[in-house]
Amino acid sequence: MAKADIRIRGRSFSIACTPGQEMRVQRLAEQLDARLTVISSAVGDIGDDRLLLIAALALLDELDAARQAAPSAASDAQAATLLTAMAMKVEALAARLESGGAA
């Protein structure tokens, strides 16, 4: 297991991660630290526990909104099935028209 060394609010941490993911973890930690700085500026000194709680809730809110805005895999599959069925009907109709049959 690899380790990423990060700093959050001036404190150093060593975080276990998948090998090759160290830089990603460090970038995420930098983003979290920046977000905590913004929140701390807005709400004042409320302690790290509450500050991290607010940040976690804000991040989960953003994730939930992104999930709701993104089309689901199920609706993509349904759309693909519908398009395939429609294409088959159009092809059958075209074949009937080419053979001189009534539509």
Q: What is the pLDDT of residues 10-30, one digit of tens each?
A: 999 999 999 999 999 999 999
Structure tokens at 100: 């001189």
Please indicate whether residue 88 or residue 6 has the higher confidence score (pLDDT): 6
* Dist CA 17 CA 40 (whole Å): 28
Q: Please, which pLDDT band fits residue 69 given cuts at 50, 70 and 90?
A: confident
pTM of structure: 0.65
Length of the chain: 103
| In the predicted structure, residue 41 carries a pLDDT above the cut 80 | yes
Q: Please, which pLDDT band fits residue 36 given cuts at 50, 70 and 90?
A: very high
Q: Which parts of 9-100 are beta strand (E)?
A: 11-17
